[in-house]
Amino acid sequence: MTAKILQAKDMAKCIGCYSCMMACARTTRRSLSPTKAALQIRTAGGLQSKLIADICRGCIDAPCAEACRCGALLPREGGGVRFITHKCLGCGDCVEACIIGVLEFDYDNQKPLVCVQCGTCVRFCPHQVLTMEERLV
């Protein structure tokens, strides 16, 4: 069995258009703000530097799910998590537990901005920088 996990394999092709972030925010959060996206495209520093994708790596034993005391984050087979929004207490423990520091907290909604590996961002990336890769389970 396989699961699909978000990857950013060729960031050299990224032009920083933020289409991926806008698509994520629009479809998963019903927002027009790229700050509400579960992935963030940013510079490595400075005006001339390359771009970096802060994305969920789809941990097999997701520390964010382990830290969730209300059962809102459930480990997903093959890596990553499922997010059950109505169960979330907004404590932020999952954000603190993210070992790579890419899980952000939305203070407006008092919920984490969780990537659920849906692939929406991939479909809107005009240069195929983002992909959904098969991972053996």
Under CATH, what is the fold of the domain 2-136? Alpha-Beta Plaits (3.30.70)
Extract the tokens encoding 86: 């109505």
pLDDT band at 129; cut points 50, 70, 90: very high
Q: pLDDT of 34-72, one tens digit each?
A: 999 999 999 988 777 799 999 999 999 999 999 999 999
User: Helices H, strands E: what count in the chain?
Assistant: 4, 8
d(CA 22, CA 19): 5
Q: Which percentage of the chain shows pLDDT scores above 70?
A: 99
Q: pLDDT of 7-18, one tens digit each?
A: 999 999 999 999
Residue 103 CB contacts under 8 Å (≥ 6 apart), including other chains: 56, 64, 94, 95, 97, 112, 113, 114
